Structure 1
Amino acid sequence: MKTRLILAATTLIVFMASAAFAHFGMLIPDSDEVNQEKKTVNLTLSFSHPFEMEGMELEKPAAFFVVANGEEKTDLLGTLKPAKVMGHSAWTASYTPREPGLYAFVFDPLPYKEDAENNYIRHITKVVIDAYGEGEDWHMPLGLKTEIVPLTRPFGNYAGNVFQGVVMLDGEPAPYTRVEVEYFNADGKRTAPSERMITQEVIADGNGVFTFVCPWKGWWGFAGLNDDAEPYKGRDLELGAVIWVLMQ
């Protein structure tokens, strides 16, 4: 009986920890624009619980690239440099756009084994940069396995703006997808009244569309979560469509 009680208590603790902490692929640039004063964007790739500022290991991704103006795709995997974020393995890169336009950066990680949830996690993560005020067609999909296609411009936003997007899976809208939302608490100044306030959640409608109001300045992450049709190494594979948006 004592052994069963200990096991039950341990299971409850693991469940509570996994429920409180949402995982996010993170692709954070030092600005959501480049201009004549700042011609290079510096990006940091990591995997973490962004509000709590608790990091996890990010192996070198399977892919890292940029898509210019929705057309020209450039492989950037070879530009990655090892780094540490929140005490764990992460990566950095720099990129200088050659011309004005819209630049969407994407990394596709190797699946992360999450024993607390008995699954693997693959968060395909993107961020969009406006170069010289010429970013257009920001509402067009990139053709990723899963992605959030923005219906709100994903750069140049005020804090308090609504962010709206469509969760896509295998090229089609994913109805009633659960979308987790979390603030990147970079300076550690924000606190949540309770654990349930750390990660916000909304459900997309029948067309895969979701809406969320971002109350604070800073980077906000949105993760549309679905399970892949095929398991990975005998476990469910959580596919996360992640996008990061700066509110100013």
Structure 2
Amino acid sequence: MKRVTVSLAVAVLFAFIASSAFAHFGMLVPDTDEVTQAKRDINLVLSFSHPFEGNGMELVKPERFFVVADGEAETDLLAGLQKASVMGHTAWKAQYTPKAPGLYAFAMVPHPYKEDAENNYIQHLTKVYVDAYGEGENWMKPLGLRTEIVPLTRPFGNYAGNVFQGQVLFEGKPAAHTRVEVEFYNKDGQRKAPNDRMVTQEVMADQNGVFTFACPWKGWWGFAALTTAPEEYKGRELELGAVIWLDMK
């Protein structure tokens, strides 16, 4: 009986380690990346999850949630958030209706998440772009987040199989040789990875912070460029993630 108990405890421990090893992603996913006369409202869902495996974490109400329309000043959207559930955990949702044609960049800055499995805190600064009425331009301009991925490929209106290229910035400067994790939002669970190594793809940015990745499937893809903050947060290391989401069609 003792041997069975020990074996069960070991199995549970390995299951916990395996589940915590999957990549974390801040998620800011709209129901469209293109506003048209037939589809004028944007419904956005904010969560913190393992998008391929479908494992969620709790997301408390973010520190900031805003939109930048055509490079103008930020519009605060935090008050309009409503509580939701994603993968069985607390998430948030919002609806936004663009008032004019142009480019709409949405961004979420969450509170740092305490990750005991890694003995650190995780904060993923997450953004997504929506084109309104075919007038979305200047998508290559930074939003001014502490860390972010600036798209070098248009972040909407892409075919599956297209290459996405981005530049990682940290405090406004190129973040050389940053590791970028890439994961598919396997919302319906139809995609199966042959092994754990295939769940999360990885690519390294070059000396200018530039990386390239080809997305093979239709659907939403998340890119998380990971940096360790120079300061600690509540006595632990703080992982900063620059996250961007895009829909391949």
TM-score with structure 1 setting the length = 0.95
What does residue range 35-114 of structure 1 map to in structure 2 within 5 Å? 35-114=36-115
- State the superposition RMSD in angstroms: 1.8
Percent of pairs identical after alignment? 68
What CA distance in whole angstroms lies between the structure 1 residues aligned with 2:102 and 2:132?
Answer: 5
Q: Deviations over 1:43-87 (max 9, x none)?
A: 000000000111110000000000011122100000000011111
1:180 aligns with 181
Q: Deviations over 1:106-141 (max 9, x none)?
A: 000000000000000000000000000000000110
2:203 is equivalent to residue 202 of structure 1: yes
SS state at 2:27 partner? strand
Give runs of ≥4 in structure 1 deviating > 3 Å: 5-17
How far the C-alpha of 1:8 sits from its partner, in A, is 8.9
What CA distance in whole angstroms lies between the structure 2 residues aligned with 1:9 and 1:229?
Answer: 36
Q: Deviations over 1:17-62 (max 9, x none)?
A: 433x100000010000111111110000000000011111000000
Q: Which runs of 5+ in 2 are unaligned?
A: none
How far the C-alpha of 1:168 sits from its partner, in A, is 0.5
SS state at 2:128 partner? strand
How far the C-alpha of 1:164 sits from its partner, in A, is 0.5
1:18 aligns with 20
- Report the AA paired with residue 129 of structure 1: V
1:225 aligns with 226
What CA distance in whole angstroms lies between the structure 2 residues aligned with 1:215 and 1:6?
Answer: 39
SS state at 1:216 partner? coil
1:192 aligns with 193
What CA distance in whole angstroms lies between the structure 2 residues aligned with 1:87 and 1:78?
Answer: 23
User: Relative to structure 1, is the Cα distance of residues 120 and 69 closer, same or farther in structure 2, using a 3 angstrom cutoff?
Assistant: same
Count how many residue pairs are aligned between Structure 1 and Structure 2.
245
What CA distance in whole angstroms lies between the structure 2 residues aligned with 1:13 and 1:56?
Answer: 16
How far the C-alpha of 1:16 sits from its partner, in A, is 3.8
TM-score with structure 2 setting the length = 0.94
What CA distance in whole angstroms lies between the structure 1 residues aligned with 2:11 and 2:40?
Answer: 54
Q: Which runs of 5+ in 1 are unaligned?
A: none
